[in-house]
């Protein structure tokens, strides 16, 4: 390996997703916002709502909402995390977001109504996730190999989840956002009511309105991953990149 002189650098590790964070997704989302608003400085003062949304599947990861609130709170934005009571995220991540908001001159709050949260929002990110305490319980059952316990937990969660079908982002809620035109974001694939499921995270008309923008949002992820790999490959990535740009050489086969 590196210590024996076989490799020029220590191998880098890129976190493609874990239980706590989804850095490639949140960085791609940040790049999307930079392109939408012109610069990172222009994000200051923007209201971003990270909201839980209904999905027929109760067990979606917490990593996306946690990554969003932890990263976006560093840029002076007003972050509102909305979810039904009982659908909390990992407390340590929430505390990081709260502290980031204070340091950056933004704000961070938690609410329990999507309809109230989206009022005057500049950006809305409706996404389903499983409650943290359920994930903890599920982990313990998996460790024990308790299949019956897992089945009972799933049925319990599906029943609880069905109580919040009104947590759908739709045209009516979008009208409550700033000028009725808040930027809709999603990591994809979204659960679209009447399209991919009977009742879901977003209605068909709203998703269709922002379909191309969500595709652009998703399109940034390969570049984010490539950038992370690039920074791991060279001791001075900025210098190396500038040199490549100055040389202007085409890639082989292009």
CATH number at residue 205: 3.40.50.1370
The answer to whether residue 206 is domain-embedded is yes
The answer to whether residue 3 is domain-embedded is no
Whether 252 shows a pLDDT value over 80: the answer reads no
196-242 pLDDT per residue, tens = 999 999 999 999 999 999 999 999 999 999 999 999 888 899 999 99
The answer to whether residue 134 is domain-embedded is yes
29-42 pLDDT per residue, tens = 999 999 999 999 99
The answer to whether residue 245 is domain-embedded is no
Write out the residue range of the structural domain in which residue 149 sits: 23-236
**Coil, strand or helix: which one is 91?**
helix
- Cβ-count burial of 229 within 10 angstroms (0-12 exposed, 13-18 middle, 19+ buried)? exposed
The answer to whether residue 15 is domain-embedded is no
The answer to whether residue 246 is domain-embedded is no
Distance CA 26, CA 68 (A): 6
Residue 254: its pLDDT value, please? 63
Residue 60 near residue 95, CB atoms below 8 Å: no
Per the confidence metrics, is the pTM higher than 0.85? yes
Count of domains forming the chain: 1
């Amino acid at each position: 390996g590196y210590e024996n002189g076989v490799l020029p650098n220590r191998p880098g590790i890129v976190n493609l997703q874990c239980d706590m964070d989804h850095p490639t997704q949140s960085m791609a989302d940040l790049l999307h916002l930079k392109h939408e608003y012109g610069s990172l400085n222009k994000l200051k003062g923007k209201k971003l709502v990270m909201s839980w949304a209904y999905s027929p599947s109760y067990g979606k990861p917490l990593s996306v909402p946690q990554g969003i609130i932890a990263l976006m709170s560093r840029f002076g934005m007003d972050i509102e995390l909305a979810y039904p009571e009982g659908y909390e995220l990992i407390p340590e991540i929430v505390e990081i977001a709260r502290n980031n908001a204070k340091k950056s001159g933004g704000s961070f709050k938690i609410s329990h109504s999507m309809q109230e949260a989206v009022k005057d929002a500049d950006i809305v990110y409706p996404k389903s996730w499983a409650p943290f305490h359920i994930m903890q319980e599920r982990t313990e059952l998996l460790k024990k190999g308790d299949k019956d316990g897992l089945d009972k937990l799933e049925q319990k969660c599906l029943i609880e989840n069905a109580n919040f079908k009104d947590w759908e982002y739709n045209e009516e809620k979008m009208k409550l956002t700033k000028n009725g035109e808040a930027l809709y974001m999603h990591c994809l694939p979204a659960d679209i009511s009447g399209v991919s499921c009977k009742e879901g995270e977003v209605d068909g008309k709203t998703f269709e309105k922002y379909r191309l923008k969500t595709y652009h949002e998703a399109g940034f992820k390969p570049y984010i991953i490539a950038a992370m790999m690039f920074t791991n490959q060279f001791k001075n990535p900025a210098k190396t990149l500038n040199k490549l740009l100055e040389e202007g050489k085409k890639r082989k086969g292009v």
